[in-house]
Structures are given as C-alpha cells and as structure tokens.
Chains A and B, each alone.
Chain A
Amino acid sequence: MSSIYDRIGGEPAVDAAVDVFYRKVLSDDRISQFFDAVDMDRQRAKQKAFLTFAFGGPNQYTGQDLRVAHAKMKLTDAHFDAVMENLGATLTELGVPAALIAEAAAVAESVRPAVLNR
C-alpha cells in the first residue's frame, strides 16, 4: 500500500500542511515558548521534515538526530501531547480521513522516547 505521503499528494500537500501545523504550534501557549528564539525559516523546514516522516514520505529521520536536537529542552509528555494534538487537528482541518490520521499519529508517536530523551 502506498504511503500517506503519496495518498495526500506528496511534497506540495506536505508543504501546505506544514503552514497549518506550524501556525497551530506557534499559537499554542503550552509549547510556543520553545519556538520564540529559533529561526522561523529553519524551524518551518524542520517541521516539514517531521511531517514528511510522519506521513511515510522520503526521509532519513533517525532517533539519534531527534534525541540530540531536543536533549536540552526539558520536555515532558504534556509538551509531546500538545504537538500530537496539533498534528491531529491539522490533518482533520485538511480533510484527511480518520484512518490515515491514526496511521500518521502512530508514526509520530514512535519518536516520543527519543524526543523526551528516555
């Protein structure tokens, strides 16, 4: 079966989704403080890489990269949950069927230990 990435329309669809997602994240008081001091262009590109990964698109995401990138941020499950919620809301807003959303959520969930440095 083809990936969510292909089914929703590949790179252009992810490019549209990333703005919906990133705007939600930046507006979310639970996590927006982590994004205040970072370069928004680079951050958007990283978000796109993350969504590409969650959708099963072409990527080389490794747990090690994520672990290092988030190691000093003192993140908790609540922070990770907030991101998951924004991901789900983004896909719902874009009209992605529930079954596919669950599939993407499961992939994203798999990096929780790396992001929370466990």
Chain B
Amino acid sequence: MLQFEGRRYERAADETVLECLLRHGVAVASFCRSGACQTCVLKATAGTVPKSAQLGLKPSQQQQGYFLSCVCRPEAALSVERCDAAATYEARVLRVESLSAEVLRVWLSRPAGLEFRAGQFVQLERPGDGLMRPYSLASLPSEDELELHVARLPNGRMSGWLANAVGQPLLARGPFGECSYTMGEPDRPLILAGTGTGLSPLLGVLREAAENEHLGPISLFHGSRQLTGLYLRAELATLAARLPTLSLIGSVLSLTAEEQQQPGPWQLETGELDQLVISRYPKPVEHRLFLCGNPALVQRLRKRAYLAGASLSRIHCDAFAAPHAS
C-alpha cells in the first residue's frame, strides 16, 4: 500500500514508488530512472524507506525522509509526499528587537506540531492580504519560541509590518530547506559563511552544533558592507566563550582606523567574503560548509569551494535576496 498526499494506491509486487504513482496517473517528474539524477525525489512521512533508495542524497535530506522514488521498492506500507509539500501553522508575534539599523529580531510563538531543524526556513504569511516572505530559523527545535532575523528595508512591506506587529497572528508554512547541522560527525570541521541576515540560519546551525557538543573546529564568517552591519556581537561573544573551537571572522568592505581598534568578538578582515573564505581554507576537502545570504555570493562561494576540493554533498546553501521594496 502506498499513500500519496492523502490518497491510497495499490502497489504491485516489485513496482517502484515512481512506477506505481505514474501507473495511477499521478504526475511525478523523472529523468534517468536509475537512482542517479535525483529528479524524482519525494519525501516519506511514515513507513521505512530502503537505504538503497537514499544513496547520493545529503544526510540532511536523508534525515528528512527524502528518497529516490524511481529505485524505491518499500517492504511495507509507505506514506509519501512531494518535497515542497508543507503544512501551514498559526503563530503569533511575541517580541521584536532591533539588532542593527538593518535587522530586526522577531520571536514567534512555536506552533504545535511544527517540527523543524535549526537553519531551515518558513514562509510567513500576513493575514488579510496573503503577503508572503521566507525567513530562516535561528532558534533550536528544543526551544519554545521561533527566532528569525528580518532585513528591514525602506518601504519593505513585510519587514515594515513585522516591526510593529507584536501580538498579531500570522501563518507559517514549512519547514523548507536543508541548511541544517548534521548529526553523527562531531569531529568534522565546519565553515559557516553568510552575509546580512544569512546569519540567522548560520546561528541556528551553530547553536545546534553547540547543543550537540560538536568537537571539530567551527569558523563563522559574517560579511557586510560596513562594520555596523555585523550584528549580534554580545551573543556571539558569549557563544565563543562557551565554544573554544569557534572562530568568528567579520568581513567588511572597508574599515576606519577607529573601527580597527574595536575589541572583538570578530577578527576583522576587509575584502570579499568568498575570497576571504577560500584564502583561509584553500583545500576544504574534509569540511562541511554552510553558505547563506546573498545569492550571487552563495553561488560563487559554492563553486569556488567545490573546485577547491569540497564535496557538494557537504555544501549546504540557503540563498536569499533582501526583499524587494515594492
């Protein structure tokens, strides 16, 4: 028996999940049909997927139940859905804090039933007009509240509304994305690099690494045009004191003489973030990388890290542009 998005289908002996769904007229995109190209990936929500149907997927995807439907012959009943399927939850804005001139920290009530990994993102929907924006989660699944960092732009519709929305209800759809800490490899060196509110998912990954007593060295690179864009100083200093393996590197385009004298927590560098990361880690062969924020930067850094020897299965990206003022 196969359940797909709430409907049940009889699966013939030896039929793959993909074959079964196609035979019943359910449209699922596929290409190589041999477990290589990952076009037909689906997500299992109940039941057991054979390990052989998860070969080649990232650990973060495997943990979420992702599998290759074209080579999956489950031994018992299985419930599956599309990977972009997600539930919608009701939440409420609890508190709002200004982290810098450009960034708000927003806490939401944690909706019952919302399971996620730190670093994943949710789509927030404003009630009334349905305006939607994606935001990455900085808080841990073990916490009672959701924390997210919101880039505030002049005339930003969602950020402008959120700034004064304490007590307001909203909808959260998700979770999405695979930019989350990988369990079971406590010694692996981690590189976390992001610009602007890309710090939000990176903070989620970092907190989860700390909670799991990660032993390997962790380098957190945060990039901004100016020093004033590097936010959350006090909390990062506290985290660094608790985690001796953590290095904090701040990357800005230029620094005044006065700024250079400012005490930590960042080791400050000037220049482009991707250049800085690669010059510090010219051969990131064993590292796991988390790259978040500006899409052009994320794409550039992913490519450079891969060409420098990093494995794509260990590069996790969460690329997002600042919301367009409209």
Contacts and interface: CB of A to CB of B under 8 A. Distances in A.
Interface of A: 11, 15, 19, 23, 26-27, 36, 40-42, 44-46, 48-49, 52-53, 57-61, 65
A30 B264 CA distance: 45
Nearest to A42: B38
Interface of B: 31-34, 36-39, 55-56, 58, 299, 302-303, 306-307, 311-312, 315
Given A15-B56, A40-B312, A61-B32, A45 B302 contact: no
A19 B39 CA distance: 19
A23 B306 contact: yes
B289 to A, nearest CB: 12
A40 B306 contact: yes
15 contacts: A23-B306, A26-B303, A26-B307, A27-B307, A40-B315, A41-B58, A42-B37, A45-B36, A48-B37, A48-B56, A49-B31, A52-B34, A52-B36, A59-B32, A59-B36
Contacts of B56: 15, 45, 48
A8 to B, nearest CB: 15
Prevailing SS type, chain A contact patch:
helix
Contacts of A57: 34
A23 B312 CA distance: 11
A57 to B, nearest CB: 7
Nearest to B58: A41
Contacts of B31: 46, 49, 65
A48 B36 contact: yes
Contacts of B32: 49, 52-53, 59-61
Contacts of B34: 49, 52, 57-60
A63 B210 CA distance: 50
Contacts, number: 53
A40 B55 contact: no
Contact of B37 (A11, A40, A49): A49
Contacts of A11: 55
Contact of A36 (B39, B299, B312, B315): B299
Contacts of B307: 23, 26-27
A112 to B, nearest CB: 19
Nearest to A41: B312
Given A23-B307, A36-B299, A40-B312, A45 B55 contact: no
A61 B38 CA distance: 14
A19 B307 CA distance: 9
Contacts of B311: 19
Nearest to B302: A40
A76 B95 CA distance: 57
Q: Which 7 A-B pairs have the closest CB atoms?
A: A49-B32, A60-B33, A49-B37, A45-B38, A49-B36, A58-B34, A48-B36
A27 B306 CA distance: 11
Contacts of A45: 36-39, 56
B176 to A, nearest CB: 15
Contacts of A48: 36-37, 56
Contact of B303 (A40, A52, A61, A65): A40
B180 to A, nearest CB: 15
Candidate in A41, A44, A46, A48 with the most chain B CB atoms within 10 angstroms:
A41
A26 B305 CA distance: 12
Nearest to A36: B299
A96 B268 CA distance: 48
Contacts of B55: 11
Contacts of B58: 41
Contacts of B302: 40
B319 to A, nearest CB: 10
Candidate in B37, B38, B303, B311 with the most chain A CB atoms within 10 angstroms:
B37
B321 to A, nearest CB: 14
Given A44-B312, A58-B34, 8 more contacts: A27-B307, A40-B302, A42-B38, A45-B38, A45-B39, A48-B37, A52-B34, A61-B32
